[in-house]
Amino acid sequence: MWNNMTMYKKISGTNDFLDNNQQLNYFDYFGISGADINTMIVLMRANLNNISAFKNELAEKIHFLFNSYVTKIQTKTGAVVKAVSNNALETNQAYVTTALYLGIRLLAQEFVMLTNVDKVTYKTPITVFKFNQESHTYRAYLKSIRCFYESLTAWTLQLLNFDKNTASNFNFMDQMIAARVFDLKPYKKLFMLIWMSGYVNQMIAANEFQEHLGVENKKTCTLNDDALNPINFDPLFEDSPGYASADDLAILTRFRQWIDHSFIDNLKDNKTAALAKIPYNDEISVADYFDLLKIIAITFYDNSVFDFKNHQDDFINLIFDRGKQKYSVQVIKKVFLELVYLQQGLTSGEVFNNFADFGSYKKPILSFSDNLNYHYLCAFPEIILMGSYCQKEFVLIAENVKTNVLTQFQALVRSSVDKVFYKIPKRFSNMTTYIPSTIPFFSNKYVEGETGSFPSIIIYEKNLNKCLIIIENFYQESARLWTDEKNAMNLLVGKNPKFMSILNQTYYAWFKDFKKLRKSLKIPKDAEIEIVIAVNRSLKIKPKITVEDCVVYIIDIALIDHFLTNFIYKR
């Protein structure tokens, strides 16, 4: 019986690689020690004021080191193989890039494993180097894997020769691992440069986003002493009302412990069910598409490379049979070809910055061809499975399908949220809820066609004599590694932050009519009115902000239950 963790040939625990069933430390595969991690953090910190120049310096060093390794490679046995001819250079380059791709596979296998384990019972320790007492969670570990995976893939795709030598190495990679041919540790310095490159790209993107937001006094990201979470985005929020101090972050940490996981799981189940009803094309649904990706992954289990030039129909028919003839040959071929990465002449930076479109999440199958004599396609199940997970999680599918999926997902989020709100009066006798469209104060404005952001629901808490106007500000799924920070910046930072736009269209737009609002709600004249911006992600910002005379809460919708039962009663 196939499941995601038996669909690939496990590499960790073989060839002297750390066994990820016993401990988690992906750095160990590459020979990167705690001292090396410290060196990388120190180097990035020393170059914060010239981060763009440092990015270029990293690129130059990566190319230089790679070329030096190709000129003179060291095998696991310690033998040094010098290139003395063009053929030898091509052979050595194939060997080194195969080693790089082996690193990609190791990262992908850990990612697939950790996204499929039972989150309740899984207890394998994370043994990554710690500077002090920083917390290393599975979530942080997965995010760190993704950053290194994307950077390593982007660079490897640029350094690969898509030739017959490399295709042959990829074809026999598992046998070469079994024969203990590979050792990644001699390439440690190259892996360290590529690891730093991933985080440097993020910092540059975050710094540049300030320009997009019209920030006049631009700040710079700094570095944490944390192997899994090295970027500190906090300085970018220093001039915003939502800047979270150390005390605020401590409150947030305690607050997030009360996330309603049943709400999240139920929403996830509803999204999965919705995919079965959304068409991917004329013949299959989006759910069928992801099922087909799994079948394609299984098909690459025994052979990672096949001759597409001469045996295209045979391979498509093999997928057809593996899928028990559920999908037509035409559909299989169309979906299969969509997954093929064709060498597009992109730089590693272009691939990394647009990984969702050009990277191996959507393009996990590599094409090796001279367009004349041979055409081989190569893939490994774990790369396809990781890509499938990320495509599904972040909706990385064709734009015409993506729009439909995101619309359906947004509707599901709102429906789930409404159910939470509508249960409030039944659970809490001290709270009354109001649907804005049924209240004259708002319904008249709807009819009159006035512009403004109308609330999702209004809650009056009689013991506190407090009226909470809840406004939704939900974000679309995104594969961006710093997406939470970007969403928070968009909400709080710049000349015209979304936060102030929401207030201007709600609180300040209605301010003169608050007497009418209280009268419509039939609540006391002295009832406090506060705004709650409900978001669908936990943002690293203050949960309570006061702007002039207005109190605003910014709350993850999965925390709304704890917010109403506990948080609003605390000073």
How confident is the chain (571 residues) per 10-residue block, as mean pLDDT? 74 89 95 97 96 95 93 70 78 91 97 91 94 92 97 93 89 88 90 97 92 87 95 89 76 78 84 91 93 94 89 90 90 93 73 79 91 86 96 90 88 82 82 84 55 75 90 84 90 84 78 81 90 82 82 86 77 55
Neighbours of 352 (CB within 10 A): 26
424: exposed, middle or buried (C-beta count within 10 Å: 0-12, 13-18, 19+)? middle
Q: Where are the domains of the chain?
A: 4-227, 261-394, 428-569
Contacts 24+ apart (CB under 8 A), 310-317: 315/377
| Residue (of 462, 471, 465, 464) closest to 570 by Cα position | 464
Type of residue found at 88: A
For residue 497, the 8-state DSSP code is -
Q: Where are the alpha helices (DSSP H) in 49-127?
A: 51-71, 86-114
- Listed in sequence order, the residues at least 6 apart from 26 whose beta carbon sits closer than 8 Å to its beta carbon are 106, 107, 110, 128, 144, 145, 148
Integer-rounded Cα radius of gyration of the chain: 27
Find out whether 6 and 83 touch, Cβ atoms under 8 Å. no
Task: Give pLDDT, residue 77.
Answer: 66
CA 500 – CA 545 distance, rounded (Å): 12
Burial class (CB in 10 A: 0-12, 13-18, 19+), 120: exposed
**And the tokens for 571?**
């000073």
For residue 181, how many C-alpha atoms fall within 13 Å in the half-sphere facing its CB? 15
pTM of structure: 0.92
φ, ψ of residue 570 to 5 degrees: the values are -100, 150
The pLDDT value given to residue 354: 79
Residue 230, helix vs strand vs coil:
coil
Neighbouring CB atoms inside 10 A of 415's CB total 11
> What pLDDT is recorded for position 38?
97
Number of other CB atoms surrounding residue 193 within 10 Å: 23
Query: Is beta strand 305-307 parallel, antiparallel or unpaired with respect to 457-461?
Result: unpaired
CA distance 104 to 145: 10
Q: What's the half-sphere exposure (Cβ side, CA atoms, 13 Å) at 497?
A: 19
Integer Cα distance of 359 and 371 in angstroms? 22
Bridge partners for 306 per DSSP: 377
User: H-helix or E-strand containing 384?
Assistant: helix 381-394
3-state SS assignment for residue 82: strand
